[in-house]
Structure formats: C-alpha cells, structure tokens
Amino acid sequence: MSIISMDAPGKEVLLMGNEAIARGAIEAGISVAAAYPGNPSSEIIGSLAEVATELGIYVEWSVNEKVALEVAAAAAVSGLNALVAMKQNGLNVASDFLLNLNLTGIRGGLVLVVCDDPSGISSTNEQDSRIYAKLADLPLMEPAAFQEAKDMVRVAFDLSRRISNVCMIRSVTRISHARGNVILGLLPRSRAVPHFDTSNTLTALPASVTHPLVHQRLDQAREFFLGSHFNSYEGPGHPELLIITCGAGQLFAQEAVSILGLEEKVGILKIGTTWPLPEKIILEHLKKTPRVLFIEEVDPVLENNVKEIFADHNMELPRITFLGKKSGTLPDYGELSPGLVIRIISELTGTKVPKPDQSYLDLARDALENYCPPRSLAFCAGCPHRASYWAIKKALKLDGRDGVLFGDIGCYALAVLPTGFNQAKTLHAMGSGIGMACGFGVLDRLGASQPAIAVCGDSTFYHAAVPALINGLHQSSNFLLIVLDNNATAMTGFQPHPGSDVNAVGALAHPVVIEEICRALGLKTVIQDPFDLEETCSTIYDMLQEQSARVLILRQECALVRGRKSSKRNKVSVNPDKCIGEDCGCSRLCTRVFRCPGLKWNTALSKTEIDEAICTGCGVCADVCPVGAIFKETP
Amino acid sequence: MTKDPYNLIVTGVGGQGNVLASQLIGSIMVELGYKVTIGETYGASQRGGSVMSHLRISKNRQYGPLIPPKCADLVIALEPSEAARVLGQFGNPGTIAVVNTRPVYPVDVISGHMPYPPIDELMYRIRSLSKKCYFLPATEKAMELGSPILANIILIGAAAGAGLLPVTEKKLEKAIIDYMSPERVEINKKAFRLGTEMVKDLTQT
Amino acid sequence: MIVHGLDELSRRVLEPGLCSACGACVGGCPYVMAFRGKTVMLDRCAVEHGRCFAYCPMTAFDAEKVSGYVFGLPHQSGGLGFTGTIVASRSKDPQIASLGQGGGTVTALMVKSLEDGFIDSAVLTGVNPKESYPHGVVALTVRDILACAGSKYVGAHSMSALREAIDRGFQRIGVVGLPCQVRSIRKMGMYDLKKEDLKKRIRVVLGLFCNWAFSSRDFISFLSERLNVNFIKKIHIPPPPANSLELETEIGFQSISLDDLRPMIQASCWNCPDMTSEFADISVGMYEGKPGWNTLITRTEIGQDLVRRAEEEGRLEIEIFPQANLEHLKAASLNKMKRASERQN
C-alpha cells in the first residue's frame, strides 16, 4: 500500500516532491504515465508504477524520453490525461517531438514534468530547461514547495484540457527530492475510455494555421494564470528591496529575510506561473520599489522575462535597479543555497549575518580542512565495471596505439575518475559514446592511427546506441563497442529496461536481447564475463586488432542487485605473510590502483586486509594481486 | 524542542540507511502535527559518497530543504568524519551531536592518497564544535543484533533517549510499518531500545 | 647513481624509445610487462627506489664502479675492456657444434656447468613455437640448453627469465646475455635492492658479442610476411661486405638484404658502447673468417677457471687467436664505442 494511492482525503503526510507530483497526477485522474529514469525525476513514474495496477492506470518505463513523450501523447490525443516526466537531458531528447506536438495540440490533458539538476550533482551537464516553454509556446509552472507541487499538477491538467495543449511543470532537485507536508485530496471516481477521433488529422503544418493557434492557446493560459494563487506577495507595501523569485528560491528567500530580520524592508514576490508571466501582479509591485533582486535556479529566465515586461511598460514605471545573474549579484551557474541567498541579501541591505564568534569559526574551518577527507565517487565493492575497466586498461596498454575510449552515461560513467582508472576520455549524452566512436572510427581514412572503443551500459544500449551502431556498420567505421551489461539501470535506482523480463508494474515483459540485435545487424558479437580478467583482457586485445564495427558484451550482475539476492560469492582473505604491500614488486597495487572499497590498507602493519563488512566476495582482487597473497574460496 | 525551526541533520555515508532514518523521523514529526521539510542529496551516494539529510521541523511554517550555514541544532552522524564535515559547515556552539564512532574509510584513504584523522583527535574536534556530544559504538552493536544497517535506528534511539527527539518506540513502530514492512518491526524496535539504553549509560561530555 | 622509480625509468628510457628489451625490469612486478617484444608500462608505481630503475642498463651506468665490482680494477677503456685470455674455441661435441651459431662454445660451457652442478639453472634465450617470439628461458636440463642454441639477433627480454630463476629460488644461476643484459646483471649484483643475495646466486655470466639487435616485434613481423617463422632453424649475419641476413629454414635458405632490416634496429643500440660484453666473466662471439669457431675472451677468475676445466675435460677445443684478428676485433669494438659517443653528442 502506498501513501500516494491512499484514499484518505484531508490526511496530512510527508511526501517527496516527486511523490507529491505523482499524487497530484492521480488526483487529476491520469490514465497513462511514461518516463525514462533520470535523476531527479525518477520517483515520479517510479511511485506511479507501484500503484498502477491498484489504480488501473498504465505506467511504463520507456526506452528513452522521446518515446515516453510519444506514448503519453498517444493517450492525450485519445482523450485521456497523461503524464510524462524527465530530467533536463531527457527534455533535450524529447524536444523534437515536443516542438511538433505543441503545434498539433492534443485532445485530452498532457502534463510534462521536467526536473532540472542545478550544479549537475547527478548529471553530465547543468541546464535550465524553462526556455523550452518559451520556445514551444507552452504554459509553465514551477512549484516552490510540496503541497504546491501536488496542487500545480492538478491545475496543469485542468489548464491542459482547456487549451488542448501540453502544460509544463519545472521542478529542481531541492523540490523533487526533498520531502514536506502535503494534504491528500480526493481520488478520482472514474476515468475516460481512450478514443482517437479519426475524422481530424493532427499535423504541425501549415505554420500559418498552427503557429498563430499555439499563440492563441498560450494567451488562454495567460488569462487562466491571471488570478492564480500560485503567485503571491509577502512583505511591506513599498519595500526597499523587492525579491522576485520562483521555485526553490522562495523558501530560501523567506528564511533569509527572516534570519536577517528584514520583514519590514524586503518584499518577496513569488511567481508560480512562470510562463506566460502574470503581468498585472508583476507591474503592480514593480511600481513600488527602486531595487529588484531575482532569485531563481540556474539561468536568468524569470529575470529576463520580467525585464521584457519592464521594457514594454517602461513609460509607466520608475527607474529600477535590477539585480540578479546578469548583474553578477548571483553566480550565473550552480545551485542556490541558503548561505548564498543570506549573504547576498545581507550585502544588498547592509545587514549583518548572525554567526558564531571567530574562535568557533576557526575550529570549524580546521574541522573542514583536516578532519573530513573527501569521499570521491567509487564503484561499489564487487562492481563488474571495475573488472571491465581493469581489463580494458591493460588491453589498451598492450595494444600501444593510444586507443581512445568514448564514455557514456550510467554508473560506468565513473570511468572518467580514478575509480575507473580514468579510462573514459569523453562523456556527453546518452549514446554519445558510441556515436563519437563511430565517428572516430572513420578518421583512419584521414590518417588517424588510434583505435576507437565505446562503452555503454545495457540500458543505454536500448536508449540510444542502436542508431549509431547501424550508422557505424553502414559507414564501415572501425570501432569496438563494449556493452557493460550488468542487467540493471543501476545509477538511477534499478528500474527495468527492455532487457528485463518484468516491466514497470512487475508484470511479465518481453525481454529484448542485446546480442540478438547485434547479430541481426550482422555484427561480430562476443560475450565474456569481466570477472575472468585474463580472458577478458585477451579478448579485448584481440578485438582491438580487428577492423569494422564489432561488439563485446561484458556480462556480469551488478553487485548491489546480487547482494540483495544471494550471499557472498567467495570468502576472500589476505595472507599477511605473502603480502608485500608497499615494497618494490607490488607498491600496493590492490589498494592504491585497483581501489576496491572492500580492501583496506592497514598502515600500522603495512598489509592489506579485507573489510568483511564491505567485501562482496567477487574475488577479482585475488587475480590482481601480483604475489598471490589474496585467496578466494568458494563456500 | 523549544527552538522553531528545529534543525536536525542526519549524516553518513551512502548505504548506511541515512535516507530511511530521516524519513522515519520526519513522518513521526508530521504525525505530531509539525511542518517538516527534509532535504537530501542522493543519486550517486550509493557509490561511496557523503550523504546528508537536513530536517526542518516547525510548528509554524514549511521551511526550505537546506539548513543555513551554522544553524544546525542536532546532528546525528552515522560516521565520525561526516560528523566533522557537517559540524564544520552547519555547527554552532549550541549544537548537540550523537555520533557513531566506527569510521567508514573513503576510497581515497584506502588507496593511501590521504590519511584518515586519528579517531581520538577526531572525537576531540567534534566535541569542540558541539555543546554536548554522545559517542556510541552503534555499528558494533548493530552487528551484534544482526546487521550493520541497524546503526541508524540505534542512533535515533539514542537521540530519543537523551531527550533530543520526541520519538517513542510506539511511534517508530508505526513509521516502520508505513515505510518498511511489518516483519522489520521487531528487530528495529530492539535497535531503538538498545540506543535509548546506550545513551543513558554514557557519561555526557 | 641515485636510484629512482618507474616514473623516472619511463621518462628516461621507455618514453624516449631507448629500451633495449633486456628484460631486467620485467617479471618482478605488475607495472611493467614484456609483450610481443615491447616493454609496456601498465600503471604508475609509487615505489621511490625501484629495482626496475636500479637494474636497467640504460638509466645510468657507472663503468668505473661496475669495473671495481666485477674485476676489482679501474675501467679499461682500450677497446675490449678488461681481458684475461683471448683465444679461439669450439665445442668438441659435434652435435653441440652444429647447433651453435659459430662453434657452439656458449652451449658447451652451459651444458658442462649444469652437468657439473656448477650451476643449478641456466638463463638463456629460446623461441616459443606458439608465440614465435624469442624470450628468456630458465633451462634446467641439457635438452633445455640445447633447445636454446643459436643467435636470435633481437632484444628478447631474456632477463625476465633471470627474475624467474631468482623467484623460483635457484642458488647457482648461469646467465647468457647480450652486452646490455650483462650490464643489467652486474647492476643487480651491485644494488641487490631487496637483499636477494644476488651477487652470490648469479654464479657465472657469459656475454655475447653484439653490434646491434633488432626490435623483435618489427623483425618478427617483417619475417612473418615472407615465411612461417616457425620454420626458421638458424639466423646468421655473415661479416661485411655481405650486407645480408641469412635464414636457414626447414624449406631451404633465404637471404634478406640488411638495408631492408636496418630500420628495425633498436634505437638503444646506437647509444651502446659495449660490443664484447665487457663486464661478463666470459665473452664469446663469432670468429670472422673462420666459420665453425668462436672468439673466446675470459675476464674473471671464475671465467678462466670454467674455460680451463672445459678444455681439460675435452669439452672445448682451444686455439691461438691471431694478432691480426685481435686488432680487427679491437677496431670493430672501438668503432662501436665511437658510434655511441657520437650519438651522445
């Protein structure tokens, strides 16, 4: 039984922002939800999947975000309410379809939730997705807290049906992954039956018809947002500083003003309907202040849009100093934090920030500098990727031609770090590794002498690798694709993918087999267990000497997945009499280079030891040890 | 809990049950009629990274998901160097700390790239940054009960036993049923009880 | 010499392509590997003073110090190094003589030493039919030794087999090596960084004459295009003015112009001043103009003793080495020294 499907209207619960969004969709009566996993959006569809059967709705993990949007759109053009969720990169993937769908419109309700990751904490890039709303002429709302996240989704569906178009919601990590109080509403009693009206066609052309139409629909949304309670003001009538904020910025701004005791001097205008902007309330407050500070996540989107309004109405407005990312008052990259917001407001108002005395601050700095060593990201103990990259590293060295490994997204992306022996030399978007490898693999015709390798995971393979693979085959490109198949979409939380035999709701699914796809394309496809280091290295070396597109699948279960099901594979131990540690002949190969967290270096004894609490018993370290000091015994 | 908002940080290393611990505390506080906001960083934290959960507990308002610098009231640390990291950023002379003493070595320490601070010096530094400090061998006790992951519940018990959180065994039981499953109740109650006992045995510093 | 580690070895020798593939750094650790003729560094090592650097003949070589260590004398730079006796020799055993490159002297001395128990193992260079690459061999029987007879003309990482013999615990090791390999062996005995009692355990060192050696990967690759290298029975480079390399194979003879092969000579060889393995106990080479015979130089007591016993027991036939040939040999050796010193400048 899940909280988000609970039939208890009026009950106050603690929900994650993403769960609140899911609950809002349920209360709005969605029938279909689709997504591809991506932080910080995954829990939206994840939590809907858990209750799908119970509620009689269709939920799927799609192969990528474009397809997810298409799946949701099919429902929305058939009269249903559908939800699609994605992280910022997912919106890029879905954008081609979105920028056609906005022009055709829909015949039901479709809400697109995009969850940005400011600072790219679990992403490959940092991006502000709100401009897509302006680009696509679609209404956009940004929740500032948890109750609002739920309420906005319900309103979004209502609006979407009214204007027959997609409605967007933009969340960020600090809302999506944070939890707060939400009051549950009523569950819907019935749901529409899908039907596509075939008497009318949905096309994005001619532009002379559809483009003005989308503008009209946006104007309808503008009307709809006019009196919205998602836009609100708190503060004095004529503040000396007006903060205009949206999304996560509101709670930071509120607390900063409170801590600095500036409730009488600083006003906060919070905008929830951030496209199209509610001009009336904004103009009303611009008239009453000489200084405006914009607080928002990532890019100066709200900032620039408000300035457009100012420019349009400049004759009626006083001179205003606008402060924000454009003026350098706030950094134009990275996420907001309470400390940052407090500091800026204190500087702008000349108010002191309360803080402990200098002696405490010195101790605190000492703690940060000397008492908490950094924790870099590392593959888990027993991760097959560590073994795979170890074999790749050796094979590339033996090959000696300075081969290039093009990286991709998933846990195995950590190959850009020492945990993956810095093997990956590029990291971009899903499927870009193989895309670039197939591009590099034709440069030998122009004199390149370095072999090309791409890595991709099993989930990434289905998501984006196939077109590049087809391209590489067709263009006779020379590259080796190594599929790191741990049978999991691990980085985002183990959602099923097309290779799984169960789907999002736990029902049986038709697994699509990677090697069957590769062989059907006519590619040489070899399968190998990366835990067999020697064989894997030898196979990679041999395949590096070959030409044409070829595929090596390194297949071994994710350590975390295995850990939930079975006990340790082997009992692994170190013989201290044989361990030579730092001496010439070893130089701590296992702890210094291989770096599995299951191996501990005992500085006092100058020996390696196994950390029983962390070791999963994969036994790969036993094969890495140059003097045979590590033993693995099958129990 | 006289302060409003009451700012609590639960910190540890990925995989220690940090998120669950903060969820349990949060849901109990919501049941008690508080507005609770929990902010977290995870995603890549499974893979050896530091994890922090910020809990804002208030009768009046929904607060933001991150505690401002130097504003933590209570720090529950599943790992001692994480306690230092959190106190260094969010501690103030009035902060109280409940700390698990067992280190989890970062891969950078294991690979010999940097030393881990000597535990007695680390404890000294943690004490110097807090008003009161409770050090507990929670992992060792948890392993005696059957699994190292129970350390998080032991520490919640300790915080409750020291009067720092209005959490009782009964309220915890309900939260566990909601967030985990009925089978997990007994062992978690045991861990909680153990925590309350352990903290009473400690000489407060 | 200050002993550094692998980083410095890589910087000074591996990266500039000055490795002679002697094999001294290989086999003792997981960071350096011999792979199909190339010395490959797999990872960085944090050891600050490593055996790889200490034993490498190319990092730094103090001829004075090594001369003191081997002979108890200052370095003789007059052309052939310190010499005891210089004679012509050949094996009296017709089978050994026919297997050998010139007169089978090296093979005969190794066989005798093993049979006597003077050595318990011989580190030689053989060819693995599966790999076709010449490589170091720890020979434990007469048959093993006979299988290694004949010059290979390549850098074969043979000293990795010396590391193997040491690790396997052999106590009286005899080694046959090229001049660079002999230098590495002497550095091993001098530094013995891990106190493996190397001075005592390396019983006798037999050095070969060498003007240069091919990179084994390039050479094997070149040959493979012309024939199955497993059919090769013997390789012979006749003295000038022939300018050729002769292959004796299962299916007949082949001749290849040295002009085609010169690009495959190891870069390190052009820096090497040592033609006659000046720091060995015994040095053996071809006797130009007298096929079926060797030039044999003894340098140390151990070397002289071994040769004397071999002659007394009828294993070796010894003759005078004519003065004219000696002058010719010296001139050739000085030529190599000159070549090397010109290269250094």
Helix (H) or strand (E) holding B166: none
Domain segments of chain B as ranges: 6-203
pLDDT-derived band at C264 (thresholds 50, 70, 90) equals very high
Angstroms from B48 CA to nearest CA on chain A: 6
Q: Which two tokens stand for residue B196?
A: 């309350």
pLDDT at B46: 59
- Distance in angstroms (rounded) separating the CA atoms of residues C128 and C134: 7
pTM summary value: 0.91
Of the residues C42, C49, C164, C168, the best mutation for testing chain A's interface (the one with the most A CB atoms within 10 Å of its CB) is C42
C201: buried, middle or exposed (CB in 10 Å: 19+, 13-18, 0-12)?
Answer: buried
Instruction: Judge if the upstream peptide bond of residue C30 is cis by omega within 30 degrees of 0.
Output: no
Chains that touch C (3 or more CB pairs under 8 A): A
- Distance in angstroms (rounded) separating the CA atoms of residues C328 and C86: 13
* Angle between helix A42-55 and A17-27 (nearest 10): 40
Residue-wise pLDDT for C19-33, tens only, equals 999 999 998 899 999
pLDDT at B43: 45
Cβ atoms of residues A457 and A484 within 8 Å:
yes
Q: Which of A100, A135, A111, A134 is nearest to A210 (CA)?
A: A100
Of the residues C45, C188, C191, C196, the best mutation for testing chain A's interface (the one with the most A CB atoms within 10 Å of its CB) is C45
Residue-wise pLDDT for C46-77, tens only, equals 999 999 999 999 999 999 999 999 999 999 87
- Distance in angstroms (rounded) separating the CA atoms of residues A208 and A468: 36
Q: Which residue has the higher pLDDT, B146 or C170?
A: C170
* Angle between helix C63-71 and C179-191 (nearest 10): 80
Cβ atoms of residues C90 and C102 within 8 Å:
yes
Residues 6+ apart with CB under 8 A from B127: B133, B205
Q: Which two tokens stand for residue C172?
A: 């009286």
Share of chain C above pLDDT 70, in %: 100
pLDDT at A563: 83
Angstroms from A588 CA to nearest CA on chain B: 8
Q: How far is CA A22 from CA A25, A44, A84, C189, in A?
A: 5, 5, 10, 75
Residue-wise pLDDT for B115-168, tens only, equals 999 999 999 999 999 999 999 999 999 999 988 889 999 999 999 999 999 888
pLDDT at B203: 59
Q: Which residues of B touch A600 (CB under 8 A)?
A: 105, 110
Name the residue facing A368 among B70, B85, B122 (closest C-beta): B85
Contact call for A252 and B82, based on CB within 8 A: no
**Closest residue in A to B67 (Cα–Cα):** A338
Name the residue facing B84 among A367, A414, A492 (closest C-beta): A367
pLDDT at B180: 82
Angstroms from C305 CA to nearest CA on chain A: 36
Interface residues from chain C to A (CB-CB < 8 Å): 28-31, 33, 35, 38, 40-47, 49-52, 193-194
Q: Which two tokens stand for residue C217?
A: 């990967």
Cβ atoms of residues B76 and B162 within 8 Å:
no
pLDDT at C289: 86
Strand pairing category for C121-127 and C134-139: antiparallel
Q: Which of B154, B156, B152 is nearest to B167 (CA)?
A: B156
Contact call for A179 and B37, based on CB within 8 A: yes
pLDDT at C1: 83
Q: Which residues of A touch C218 (CB under 8 A)?
A: none
Cβ atoms of residues B132 and B158 within 8 Å:
no
Q: Is the dihedral of CA C93, C99, C101, C107 positive or negative?
A: negative
pLDDT at A1: 65
Q: Which residues of C touch A624 (CB under 8 A)?
A: 30
Instruction: Quickly list DSSP for A196-260.
Output: --TTS------HHHHHHHHHHHHHHHHHHHTT-TTSEEES-SS-SEEEEE-TTHHHHHHHHHHHT
Helix (H) or strand (E) holding C118: none
B 108-147 residues with CB below 8 A of A?
108-117, 121-122, 125-126, 128-129, 139, 143
**Closest residue in A to C46 (Cα–Cα):** A587
Q: Which residues of B touch A380 (CB under 8 A)?
A: 46-48
Q: Which of B197, B189, B204 is nearest to B97 (CA)?
A: B204
- Distance in angstroms (rounded) separating the CA atoms of residues C65 and B197: 72
Q: Which two tokens stand for residue A387?
A: 């073994």
Contact call for C51 and A584, based on CB within 8 A: yes
Q: Which fold has domain B6-203?
A: Pyruvate-ferredoxin Oxidoreductase; domain 3 (3.40.920)
| Residues in chain A where the model's pLDDT stays below 70 | 1
| Residues in chain B where the model's pLDDT stays below 50 | 43, 205
Contact call for A14 and B30, based on CB within 8 A: yes
Q: Which residues of A touch B111 (CB under 8 A)?
A: 418, 588, 591-593, 595, 601
Instruction: Quickly list DSSP for B17-42.
Output: SHHHHHHHHHHHHHHTT-EEEEEE--
**Closest residue in A to C6 (Cα–Cα):** A584
Contact call for C28 and A588, based on CB within 8 A: no
Angstroms from A459 CA to nearest CA on chain B: 17
Strand pairing category for A549-555 and A524-528: parallel
B 21-40 residues with CB below 8 A of A?
23, 26-27, 30, 35-40
Q: Is the dihedral of CA A605, A609, A614, A620 positive or negative?
A: positive
Angstroms from B85 CA to nearest CA on chain A: 6
Interface pTM, i.e. ipTM: 0.94
- What type of residue sits at position A183? I
Cβ atoms of residues B68 and A344 within 8 Å:
no
In A400-464, which residue ranges form alpha helices assigned H by DSSP? 432-440, 458-460
Secondary structure class of C68 (helix, strand, coil):
helix
- Distance in angstroms (rounded) separating the CA atoms of residues B170 and A577: 52
